[in-house]
Chains A and B, each alone.
Chain A
Amino acid sequence: MTKRLSLSLIWPPVLIAALFLGAWQLLVIANDIQPYLLPAPSLIAENFTSDVSLMWAAAYYTGTTAFLGLVFGTIAALIMSLLAQRLIVVNRLITPLAAGLATVPIIALTPILNNMFNITSRTPRVLVTMIIVLFPMFVNVTRGLLQVQPVQLELMRSLNAKPRMTLRVLRIPNAIPFFFTGLKIAAPLAVIAALVAEYFGGPQEGLGSRIAGAAANTAYGRAWAYVVASIITGLIFYLIVVALEKWTTPWTGRSRST
């Protein structure tokens, strides 16, 4: 049953993708569109398959940056959320700050961090990714910690539970689905942030550097092959989060009866 279900979930997007790529290929060939305008899917595939090891290496580099940023950004967000749920003052202080931080453009932030930290290291890129990850994680987790059913809080009070017990027994488990909602947004964002941060100098082995480099050399097919590698990296991040969620929170995704 599950096999049929998953098959029926998979074939529609595959079909759509095939139709889309077919139309794209036809459009390019029929109108003789030049690669610098729009490279044909066949050209991108050719570049991708001929350079698979390079693709992998670039995706690995950027993926590592994204992963580190995601981990540190999430840890920072969790600490902030725990403080915010305990002290309303901290909540009022941190929330606008986090929102402000989230609106700072990467293109403004990265050069500054490149100057502040060692540009030849991964550090500034990890920091950029952290900042991007921080906001969706903080907002979602804080909400999960605070948005507890009032009747459940009354129950905890009737059981003479101290705030720390209530946090452990009620608020944190309640926040887990919210945590994953944040992570589903933050994980692909982390890949994009890690990639864009590579546009401002520093080591050249990541996806962002490769896309920029290939485009500068008018190797549009190769540039797009790296774009495909980036998409795959982002999707892998997303799917890992989805799998983690399924595995750790068997109680979500059910239809609520109350």
Chain B
Amino acid sequence: MSNVPAGGQAVSVEGLWKIFNEGASNEVTALSDVSLTIIAGEFISLIGPSGCGKSTLLRVIGDLTDASRGVVEVAGVSPHEARVQQLYGIAFQQAALFDWRTVVKNVELPLELLGWDKKRRAARALELLEMVQLADFANHRPWELSGGMQQRVAIARSLAVDPPLLLMDEPFGALDEMTRERMQNELLRIRLETGKTIVFVTHSIPEAVYLSDRVVVMSARPGRITGIVDINLGERNEDTRETDAFYSGVTEVREALRGRSAGGNHTRIGEV
């Protein structure tokens, strides 16, 4: 993606451990010695079976939970500092919209908490709703919208403060296949328009391959990174999902998930 500004490190994770109930009998090692560097402007997917710690890794980056050991930096500062400075936006599997607010007021929420005045935040929210093509629904209630539309509102909200980093925890996980593919295209378009760094948790292999520059493959018990698959599909379009490069990407990720990635934990796919 040539028009995405590449830059320094957006996120760096060094020797990260996350252990729940450490020292207790129900101790669980969610992440074991995870290291990962994400470059600014990159689209990274985290994929793996349930319990592989992919969501936990995302939550540590977002300072929604603490690291047990290791160093994590977001845009050169600690996750806590990044959260305080609003250096990332987040979208979850549930849209987590507030039913008592209209669509536009939901998008305004982060700006309202930052103390923006009414006019400015309404203008910004409308701009974002236009980006996700929901400007006509600004004054609807969230529950009047379909699941895909609700998720687009949530994405607009995550972009409200214009953060450089977008964290997405299975945002399309609850959508049907057709809506899902449409949302994937939408997300890639937004990414092109905004140049955000995106960390995307999913357990859909085609989704990870279609969206990402790199797919980080994780395995469970203990959660760790077992491989990183480079994807190079160029500009995505309607036909991308039917190309050989796409299929070999899917195969490569699937093999890595099965632990077959012979010795190498770094492979390159679809190199032109």
Contact = CB atoms under 8 A, between A and B. Distances in A.
User: Ordered nearest first, which 7 A-B pairs have the shortest CB separation?
Assistant: A173-B100, A251-B99, A151-B96, A158-B90, A151-B94, A155-B96, A254-B143
28 contacts: A151-B94, A157-B64, A157-B83, A158-B62, A158-B63, A158-B64, A158-B83, A158-B88, A158-B89, A159-B86, A159-B110, A159-B113, A160-B86, A161-B113, A169-B98, A169-B113, A173-B101, A174-B100, A176-B100, A249-B100, A251-B100, A254-B99, A254-B144, A255-B143, A257-B143, A257-B146, A257-B150, A258-B95
Given A159-B113, A176-B100, A251-B143, A258 B92 contact: no
A152 interface: yes
Contact of B90 (A155, A165, A174, A255): A155
A257 B63 CA distance: 29
A115 interface: no
A161 B94 CA distance: 19
A170 B113 contact: no
A103 B78 CA distance: 53
Interface residues of A, number: 24
Interface string A44-71: 0000000000000000000000000000
A5 B138 CA distance: 29
Interface in A82-108: none
A160 B112 CA distance: 12
A3 interface: no
A256 to B, nearest CB: 6
A257 B99 contact: no
B141 interface: yes
A8 interface: no
A173 B109 CA distance: 14
A162 B64 CA distance: 14
A155 B109 CA distance: 10
A250 B88 CA distance: 33
Interface residues of B, number: 29
Chain B binding surface SS class: loop
B109 A159 contact: yes
Contacts, number: 65
B84 interface: yes
Nearest to B160: A159
Interface string B106-124: 0001101100000000000
B113 A165 contact: yes
Nearest to A256: B143
Nearest to A152: B96
Contacts of A256: 143
A60 B115 CA distance: 47
Interface string A223-251: 00000000000000000000000000111
B181 to A, nearest CB: 21
Contacts of A254: 99, 141, 143-144
Contacts of B173: none
Residue of B89, B94, B95 most packed against chain A (CB within 10 A) = B94
B222 interface: no
Contacts of A154: 64, 90, 92, 96
A160 B64 contact: no
A2 interface: no
Nearest to B161: A159
Given A159-B86, A159-B110, A169-B109, A149 B64 contact: no
B12 to A, nearest CB: 20
B51 interface: no
Contacts of A152: 96, 98
A249 B110 CA distance: 23
B147 interface: yes
Interface string B134-162: 00000001011011001000000000000
A258 B113 contact: no
Contacts of B92: 151, 154-155
B90 A251 contact: no
B106 to A, nearest CB: 10
Given A151-B96, A158-B90, A257-B150, 7 more contacts: A152-B98, A154-B92, A158-B62, A158-B83, A161-B113, A251-B100, A258-B147
A120 B94 CA distance: 58
A251 B94 contact: no
Interface string A140-166: 000000000101101101111100010
A152 B92 CA distance: 10
A169 B141 CA distance: 16
B97 to A, nearest CB: 9
B111 to A, nearest CB: 10
A247 to B, nearest CB: 14
